[in-house]
Amino acid sequence: MMENIAKSNFPKLPVVVDSWFDSVDLMRSIVALGFKLIVELKCSRNAHSAKHTPWSNIKSCFHFLRRESILAKLNPIRKRDKNKKKWFSQLSLYVNNYECLINTIAVYNRKKSLQPFAIYATTDLTMSGAKLWEYSRARWKIECQFRDLKQNLSWGELGCSEKEGADLSVCIPFVVYTFLTLNFKGKWKSKSQESIGLMVKKIRNDQDEKTINSLVVGKGIEKKKIKLLKARRQRDRLNKKPTNRLAEKKSTSVKRAA
């Protein structure tokens, strides 16, 4: 595929992949075609900063280096995530079995964290650590979107390893979603930055609420149990464990507000 792209007049944009493609053979192939590669490295790799120095685990190469802060760019909707930071150290390294220097960053959750949670690398030695993190976060968001497409909007039950399955699970739903987003964005009440998964969960939650109301009207069911059930279905509890203790707390606060 990359050979066909290289033969066309398509711009030589960076190729961004995850740790499944952490292969020096792939690095050589991409560089030979004139592209820059961005990849998440496995933390088990060995590396060193100069050819005459001994090999060591790649995570240890970043010890004692100065760390810089950068916006995490997690969920832009949640206020607490807008200014949340990550920390990174940047270093040019040789990794085992690859003969050229690569530009790497180790990313930490906190400034004083002992171990990085991820290491990203690029064959572009001039790329800043902030730009490398930006590309890596963008790739992760695309992966999350594909997961939402497969789980929530896919047609059929074919595996994504074949072309037909990929078309039904990802490609066609993505085209439909893009068309609706571009043409009906102003008519949607939901925020444009919401993910497909969150949109689907909200729709399901609203339908569950309507179903509960229609089932309990005039049935003489105890109101406390209804409030408990509704509290566990609140939108702000999406992606959280629906424990009864938290649900009861929510029911109490709703009752007091009323």
Top mean-pLDDT range of 20-34, 97-111, 187-201, 219-233: 97-111
* pLDDT at site 248: 46
pLDDT band at 102 (very low <50, low <70, confident <90, very high): very high
pLDDT band at 255 (very low <50, low <70, confident <90, very high): very low
Mean predicted lDDT score pLDDT of the chain = 78
- Do the Cβ atoms of 215 and 199 come closer than 8 Å? no
Residue, of 25 and 217, whose pLDDT is higher: 25
Q: What is the pLDDT of residues 37-72, one digit of tens each?
A: 999 999 899 999 988 899 999 999 998 899 999 887
144, 117, 15, 18: which is closest to 59 by C-alpha? Answer: 117
Average pLDDT over residues 20-43: 89
* pLDDT at site 121: 95
- Do the Cβ atoms of 43 and 58 come closer than 8 Å? yes
Average pLDDT over residues 12-33: 87
* pLDDT at site 136: 92
* pLDDT at site 251: 45
pLDDT band at 130 (very low <50, low <70, confident <90, very high): very high
- Rg, C-alpha atoms of the chain: 24
- Do the Cβ atoms of 202 and 235 come closer than 8 Å? yes
Q: What is the pLDDT of residues 157-208, one digit of tens each?
A: 666 666 777 777 778 888 877 776 776 555 555 555 666 677 777 777 777 7
pLDDT band at 87 (very low <50, low <70, confident <90, very high): very high
Q: Per mean pLDDT, which range of 84-98, 120-134, 171-185 is the poorest? A: 171-185
pLDDT band at 153 (very low <50, low <70, confident <90, very high): confident
pLDDT for residue 246 is more than 60: no
pLDDT for residue 23 is more than 60: yes
pLDDT for residue 122 is more than 90: yes
Residue, of 135 and 77, whose pLDDT is higher: 135
CA distances for 34 relative to 28, 58, 94, 164, 230, angstroms: 10, 27, 20, 31, 57
- Phi, psi angles (nearest 5°) of residue 78: -75, 130
- Do the Cβ atoms of 81 and 74 come closer than 8 Å? yes
Half-sphere exposure of 61 (CA within 13 A, CB side): 27
pLDDT for residue 133 is more than 50: yes
Top mean-pLDDT range of 9-13, 82-86, 103-107: 103-107
